[in-house]
Amino acid sequence: MRSILVCLLLLFPLTCWAENRLFVLQGEEAILEVEIDDEGNARQVRTYRERDLPAVFPARSLEMRNGNILVTYDGQKRQTARLLYRRSHGLTPYGGEPGQATDPDGRRLEMADTERNFRSGSRLYAETGGGHYRDRQHLARVQGLAGNRYRDVFILDDSAFGVAADRIDRLSGVDAGTLDAKEALALPGSRLTAATVSPWGEVFVSDDSQPTIHRLRLDDGTLSSNGP
């Protein structure tokens, strides 16, 4: 498992990135903390369960926010817990300020480090700009229209996509209050569960059929695989 970053996904429902850590939700009862070194090598360093983080589980998805705040959600996307990540203490219940942008323990996660050795030559890197809030608003509209039709939805380059079983659909008509779907990418044999977009425009999708994170990218408007 190499060159894996930011909020994304293993065999399990969802993963998120903080500093050089990848967090993986294993089933609904555990969070795995995986360290990624500058060569892209992965090593599991901690496992968090109910005894470590009371009242967090069961969890259906998670999200890393500014200041290394990890948020968990239930099956209805309702927030269930907030956790603070510090390298020295791991994940702990969040009960205060996450820290300043200049504090290594409170790094602003939206300001991605695009100069890491193992990614610096990648053409996937790009300026993220100021579209984060706009994308969230667009995503909320798509989620409202999609309902339970898709396991997850995501926004990439202003386009909406839905994750459904062994394929990903491109969704249109959102501004008109409709949802028209056209297959964008098929992954036969997969059981896709959740997706997230990195600050450099790469998509990570979890697959329950095997211990794999699918890496996807959008090239000239076409969604394609960037390797598992």
**Phi and psi based region of residue 67 (left: phi greater than 0; alpha: psi -120 to 50; beta: remaining):** left
Q: How many CB atoms lie within 10 A of CB 98?
A: 20
Alpha helices (H) along the chain: 132-146
pLDDT band at 97, cuts 50/70/90? low
Residue 83 has pLDDT above 50, yes or no: yes
For 86, 138, 181, 214, the CA distances from 175, given in Å and listed in that order, are 40, 9, 14, 29
* Amino acid 96: pLDDT: 64
Counting Cβ atoms within 10 Å, is residue 124 exposed (0-12), middle (13-18) or buried (19+)?
Answer: middle
Percent share of the chain, pLDDT over 70: 72
Task: Provide the mean pLDDT of the chain.
Answer: 75
Of residues 132 and 93, more confidently modeled:
93
Give the lowest-confidence range in 119-133, 176-190, 199-213: 119-133
Encoded amino acid at 11, one letter: L
3 state SS of 86 = strand
